[in-house]
Amino acid sequence: MNTVTTHRSWKKQPFIKSPLLRWGLVVGGAFYLALVFGTMDVNWGRVADGIPRGQRFLSSFFPPDFTSRATDIFDGILESMWITIISTVVGILLSIPVGLGAARNLSPRPVYLFSRAVLAVSRTFPEIIIALFAVKLFGFGPFAGFIALSVGTIGFYGKLLAEDIEDMDTSQAEAVKATGASWFQWLNYAVQPQVMPRMIGLGMYRLDINFRESAVVGIVGGGGIGATLLTSFDRYEFDSAAAILLVIIFIVMGVEYSSSYIRKWVQ
Amino acid sequence: MLRLVDLVKQYKTGDKALKHVNLEVPNGQVMALIGPSGAGKSTLIRCVNRLVEPTSGKIYLGDKELTSLSQGALRKARRRMGMIFQEYALVERLTVMENVLSGRLGYVPFWRSYFRKFPQSDIDEAFRLLARVGLDHMVDKRADELSGGQRQRVGICRALIQNPELLLVDEPTASLDPKTSRQIMRLICELCKERGLAAIINIHDVLLAQMFAERIVGLQLGEIVYDGPPDGLSPDVLTQIYGEEDWEATIAKVEDEDDEDEEAAVP
């Protein structure tokens, strides 16, 4: 009909339709950022003073001294590993029922809400806060650290387990249900195979997190390598502290490499 | 064998998927259920084993009324109905054997199924079925390593090992190529004959339905609009089921061609 080809222009639709709102958000955001920087009140003189002090501080870390506190370091690491492994295992075991309860496609409404509440509470408090409580309750030592990390693990693992179950393929779940399987058989045959690889990967990741956190909770009295680290700082034995930090880095790297290997293997 | 009385399914969204459906399937009859997408075919067969809860109406399997069963009794009733799915719905990370044996879950207690210690008779039957469909050399392959046709054969074995009286088949060929589709349909129908099983087969492909089913039921917007023999499908009937279209090319002229001439009925 129309022999003249007309060119219709096309542009991607902006995410926020109203230009007023769009530019308002950009300008408002920039203004707020500027305001925040203004209130920070950096004393540049003290920053300048701090730099050489920091250099002196860092140089006192070298060379790291592994020998003079060797038994303390060794005991601390052993205790940290103990806390890490036990709290990861116990935390994961406890998070399985909570995670199942918190999966919307598995649980009736009241169970779902209760489990989500448990997860929310345990995720609200960082491990170090829980550790402070646990130290007050059970006294100094690895038991407090173990409690803190276990609670932290429940929040982390339970939430991710619930989310993974909610994302599972429903047709596989339906098919197993249709055979007349009981609820536990259905979990074992339809749900578990689907979530297992990711859960093993996350378990390894949590082991890694718990080891690092065990150093942190140790500083507030939760035992393990953190306590050893704190002692060496208190005694101004920075070379021993450096040795401890290196050992922690080394172990975290070891867990990191082995976990990525294990994750590939279970896919 | 199976009797649906005044079956209604209304989804929470308000869509009426089934409107007072009455249907009787006698012993050993292979029935194809055709109809456009959204006609309620899937809903209908899922109501039978209550993967979808019907809103009202009655379902009789033999003398048993299914809609009022408790969870435990429902599981027992589900054992009598094997289901075959559109995208095979095998549990992908389980082996072929585990998938087939999952059809026995309604018969074995939890711990036996958990440790994969199925009775020898079940294992014998699984091997027999797998040999029947030509997959007995693949028992330890993971389900996600198989091709589409192979997966559907495993799905068939899983349904048959339940020793069902009725097969519920949901679009068994929807993701298969034309040749494999015919092979799978032929296999399902042969096995139904061998075992005297009744079957409801949801299927998009009118031609396949005509080739293999003894009876065709056409569903449109939740109502049965055709119920009769395969050769009763005239262009008028298809128009009634699916809407206006040129149907001449779709209607089968031959009974059951060989696998070699796929295009025969499409001039």
A93 contacts: CB under 8 Å, gap ≥ 6:
none
Question: What integer pLDDT is reported at residue B261 of this predicted model?
Answer: 44
Is the bond into A19 cis (omega within 30 degrees of 0)? no
Per-residue pLDDT of chain A (267 residues; tens, 9 = 90+): 556 678 888 888 888 888 899 999 999 999 999 999 888 877 888 888 888 888 887 887 778 777 777 788 888 888 888 889 999 999 999 999 999 999 998 888 999 999 999 999 988 888 888 888 888 888 888 888 899 999 999 999 999 999 999 999 999 999 999 999 999 999 999 999 999 988 988 888 888 888 888 888 888 887 788 888 888 888 888 888 888 888 888 888 888 888 778 878 877
DSSP string across chain B? -EEEEEEEEE-TTS-EEEEEEEEEE-TT-EEEEE--TTSSHHHHHHHHTTSS--SEEEEEETTEE-TT--HHHHHHHHTTEEEE-TT----TTSBHHHHHHGGGTTTS-HHHHHTT---HHHHHHHHHHHHHTT-TT-TTSBGGGS-HHHHHHHHHHHHHTT--SEEEEE-TTTTS-HHHHHHHHHHHHHHHHHHT-EEEEE-S-HHHHHHH-SEEEEEETTEEEEEE-GGG--HHHHHHHH-S---GGGS--SS---TT-TTTT--
**Distance (Å) from the alpha carbon of A206 to chain B's nearest alpha carbon:** 24
* ipTM (interface predicted TM): 0.86
> How many Å from the N-terminal Cα to the C-terminal Cα in chain A?
59
Q: State chain A's mean pLDDT as an integer.
A: 87
| Chain A residue numbers touching B90 (CB-CB < 8 A) | 172, 175
CATH of A64-266, one of 1.10.630.10, 2.60.40.10, 1.10.3720.10, 3.30.1780.10: 1.10.3720.10
B65-81 burial, b if ≥16 CB within 10 A, otherwise e? ebbebeeeeebebbbbb
Q: Which residue of A has its CA nearest to B93?
A: A193
Torsion of CA B143, B144, B148, B154, to 10 degrees: 10
| A97-110: pLDDT as tens digits | 999 999 998 888 99
| A126-139: pLDDT as tens digits | 888 888 888 888 88
Name the residue among B96, B234, B237, B217 with its Cα closest to residue B155.
B96
Domain boundaries, chain A: 19-58, 64-266
B111 and chain A in contact, CB less than 8 A: no
Q: Which residue of B has its CA nearest to A175?
A: B89
Question: What integer pLDDT is reported at residue A3 of this predicted model?
Answer: 60
Note whether A189 contacts B93, CB cutoff 8 Å: no
The rounded distance, in Å, linking the Cα atoms of B194 and A238 is 82
Across the A:B interface, residue pairs with CB atoms under 8 Å apart total: 82
Residue recorded with tokens 């009925």: B265
| Chain B residue numbers touching A193 (CB-CB < 8 A) | 91-94
pTM of the entire predicted model: 0.81
Interstrand relation of B16-25 and B64-65 (parallel, antiparallel or unpaired): unpaired
| Chain B residue numbers touching A188 (CB-CB < 8 A) | 110, 113-114
- Picking from B51, B85, B105, the nearest residue to A189 by CB comes out as B105
The rounded distance, in Å, linking the Cα atoms of B99 and B81 is 17
